[in-house]
Amino acid sequence: MAERKVRVRFAPSPTGPLHIGGVRTALYNYLFARQHGGDFVFRIEDTDSARFVPGAEEYIIEAFKWLGIAFDEGVSFGGQYGPYRQSERRDIYKKYVQQLLDDGKAYIAFDTPEELDAKRSEVENFQYDATTRMQMRNSLTMDKAEVERLVAEGAQYVVRFKIEPGRDVHVDDLIRGDVNINSSILDDKVLYKSADQLPTYHLANIVDDHLMEISHVIRGEEWLPSAPLHVLLYEAFGWTDTMPRFAHLPLLLKPVGNGKLSKRDGDKLGFPVFPLEWHDPQTGAVSSGYREQGYLPEAVVNFLALLGWNPGNDQEMLSMDELVRLFDLSKCSKSGARFDYVKGIWFNHQYLLQKPAGEWVPEFDALLRRQGIESTAEKEAQVVEMMCQKVIEYTDGEGNKKKRNVSFVSDLWPLCRFFFIAPDTYDREDKFVRKNWKDTTAQEMDELVGVLSALDETEFTVDALKDMVEAWCEATGRKPWNAWRVCLVGTGQGPDMYELAAFLGKAETLKRMEAAIAALK
Ligand code: GLU
């Protein structure tokens, strides 16, 4: 058989914001499609109208746009296999439901929810299947004429798949290998409901994958239990030859403890489980998103790609292009992947370090404005250059040497405040101040003011400052740096003193020094 063109799809139901696990599923589909020069289809599975949430579809589209995960066709992208929204494909499904009925592979059932409930309380572990279907109200037990009359009268019914018991059903999974179950454990799944004139997920999903010529179904492990039923449906339709290959991805697990990742884990530990912030249209509740928390999309993509797969070595920093090249579906793990959100923060830090200073400016500027500060793009880029492009080492109020990773642009404010705002008090209780401000220090700083005054405002550059101050140090044996830092920063924090003084300029530098001398004398 000729190799099929790779066509994969991401098929969310618009029932709310996209969970981060769904983002990983879409990413793997995207990588696989790109790698094979295939197509990536975006389909909306909205046959369950009761669970429809307005805004969810738009949210999902915006999330992928932000992440740089692009679709080739589908809802909002167009294409030759549309419509791609299942609620717009009613007539197509009806035809295929009829085909199964005509072939005796499915049957009509009239049992009301009350009747089914009664049965469930009467028979322990009741399942609608080969052992029970002949005791129920359906087209297998009723007169043909009676069935036709009820349907014509508009009685509510469902169409059920007639599963033949005692058969070995094999799902050939690219990640899990041969998954084998006995058909007797399956129930006669509802494929269609007359009440809303729509098929259920199972039928619509299979029919669409077939008609859209999907070659590989790559989806979360939670769909594995449905796969045998799907295999049987392909068989019932006579589509076994073109059945897609399956790949069920490992679950995302809680960062700590057992079980699958949930929104509660995120709330408890303070990380988002959604790509974008989500405003629930019904409750008004707001859930945090990676974008709004200051994550870079490259970092999120890199982080997610490695949850359940790795390139076989310890390379961690992988661009989208590298991921496309290296990704290997068959090397995904079978066991769940722990959602190590701290690693996600680490990735963001790494990507921030790589980002040229100029690219930070819009976000940094927005951050400053929220603090009521207006600065220039040039000054902002300078601060970024001094503070963000490296792991920042600083001495805290207790005099301890510390390192701090800037993982988000918002981390910068407490670290950069002093560039824009002069210290308003000089705290004698601050360990750094106490240690570095002696009885003779005010005198020394006075002298340094004198030295610096000799420079013009325009000469206040890192090099000129360095020459000037170092010559003075050499001549006098002074070591002014820590006390000078107290003057300009108020504590033991910040970049190289010459860089800082050059940034502040002559007037501001001398003003801060004089204020400190007066306060600490
Ligand atoms: N509509 C399903 C979902 O919400 C799609 C499952 C599948 O990919 O088959 O995830």
Tell me the DSSP string of 237-255.
Answer: HT-GGGPPEEEEEPPEEPS
pLDDT surpassing 60 at residue 397: no
pLDDT at 352: 85
The reply to whether ligand 1 has any atom less than 6 angstroms from the CB of 11 is yes
Where do we find the tokens 């999907």? 214
For a ligand 1 pocket test, name from 15, 221, 223 the mutation site with the most ligand atoms within 8 angstroms of its C-beta: 223
Mean residue pLDDT of the chain comes to 93
Give the three-class secondary structure for 158: strand
462-476 vs 441-453: helix crossing angle, rounded to 10: 130
Indicate which residue's Cα is closest to atom 6 of ligand 1. 11
Task: Read off the pLDDT of residues 457-480 as tens digits, 9 standing for 90 and up.
Answer: 999 999 999 999 999 999 999 999
Question: What is the rounded average pLDDT of the residues 485-495?
Answer: 90
Give the three-class secondary structure for 511: helix
Beta bridge partners of 190: 160
- Catalytic residue flag (residue 263): yes
pLDDT at 135: 95
From CA 361, how far away is CA 368, in angstroms rounded?
10
Active-site entry in 263, 355, 435, 511: 263
pLDDT surpassing 60 at residue 394: no
pTM above 0.75, yes or no: yes
Cα of 227 from ligand 1 centre, angstroms: 12
Contacts of 13 (CB under 8 A, 6+ apart): 44, 45, 46, 48, 51, 201
pLDDT at 387: 74
pLDDT at 141: 98
pLDDT > 90: what percent of the chain?
83
CB 435 within 8 A of CB 399: yes
pLDDT > 70: what percent of the chain?
96
| Encoded tokens for 78 | 């167009």
Lowest mean pLDDT across 218-227, 244-253, 403-412 = 403-412
From CA 39, how far away is CA 30, in angstroms rounded?
9
From CA 349, how far away is CA 390, in angstroms rounded?
10
Task: Read off the pLDDT of residues 196-222 as tens digits, 9 standing for 90 and up.
Answer: 899 999 999 999 999 999 999 999 999
Task: Read off the pLDDT of residues 143-178 as tens digits, 9 standing for 90 and up.
Answer: 999 999 999 999 999 999 999 999 999 999 999 999
pLDDT at 298: 96
The reply to whether ligand 1 has any atom less than 6 angstroms from the CB of 52 is no
Question: What is the rounded average pLDDT of the residues 443-452?
Answer: 96
The reply to whether ligand 1 has any atom less than 6 angstroms from the CB of 219 is yes
pLDDT at 400: 64
The reply to whether ligand 1 has any atom less than 6 angstroms from the CB of 13 is yes
pLDDT at 406: 78
Lowest mean pLDDT across 91-105, 109-123, 488-502 = 488-502
pLDDT surpassing 70 at residue 11: yes
| Encoded tokens for 492 | 């033991």
Instruction: Point out the ligand 1 atom lying closest to the alpha carbon of residue 12.
Output: 4
